Amino acid sequence: MTSKLNQLRARAQPITESEIAAVPWFKELTPFEQERVFGDMQVITAQAGESLVRIGRPAEYWFGLLEGLLKMSNNATDGPQITFTGVAPGGWFGEGTVLKREAYRYNIEALRKSRVTGMPIDTFHWLIDHSLGFNRYVMFQLNERLGQFIAARETDRLTNPDLRVARNLATLFDKKLYPGVGEFLRITQQELALIVGLSRQRVNEALKALADKGWVRTEYGGLQVLDFEGLQRGQI
């Protein structure tokens, strides 16, 4: 597995100006800070099934998803695999691990071909030491992430599959954590099933129920959210 991660990172390319323009926190930096960051960040393209992060590996980068879909999960060799959350476009992850310079306690896997950008851990800590704007963003990110995992804990206790699908979709459509999604999320029923932990057939039934509620609309290649509040707080 280590060699596969190394092969993936060997394909890394410098980030482009158009790619970094889509990074939500980049505009919060001063011109000097932007120049430092732009020169350090790289982009990799991961194919479906490839891992970007593995449990036990030391944190080396802070990652953001430019395009595609990822999932965060535990190690299946220790028991049943549990997906903690999906990661949608515009999302950044791993800041807690990077802040503490720890080893990862989760796996990150591409569910489809995905473009991921990474900031070296030393650059991350340099920004923490020098950039007020970056510190504000990281604090905001940690606060939103805490809320996400509290909601996920509640979702894990739900016995209604339709509601489980609704709450997981609400997380993926969260504009604060995933500003690159907008109103339409490119996702297949199989990918959603992997994130929610249900069969594809059961997810299909749940999506029909949510569509009947007027909360989502299934379209070719993905889903459109019609009522975010309904997904987030509604009752089936």
Tell me which of 3.40.50.10490, 3.10.110.10, 3.40.1710.10, 2.60.120.10 is the CATH number of domain 2-149: 2.60.120.10
Q: Where in the chain is the domain with CATH 1.10.10.10?
A: 160-233
d(CA 56, CA 103) in angstroms, rounded, equals: 5
- What average pLDDT does the segment 34-60 reach? 94
Question: What would the pLDDT profile of 96-143 be if each residue is shown by its tens digit?
Answer: 999 999 999 999 999 999 999 999 999 999 999 999 999 999 999 998
The domain defined by 160-233 folds into Arc Repressor Mutant, subunit A (1.10.10)
pLDDT digits (tens, 9 = 90+) for 168-198: 898 899 888 898 888 899 999 999 998 888 8
Q: What is the C-alpha to C-alpha distance for residues 199 and 208, in angstroms, rounded to an integer?
A: 14
**235's tokens:** 């009752």
Q: Determine the length of the chain.
A: 236
pLDDT: is 30 or 161 the higher one? 30
Query: Residue 108: which of 170, 57, 144 has the closest Cα?
Result: 57
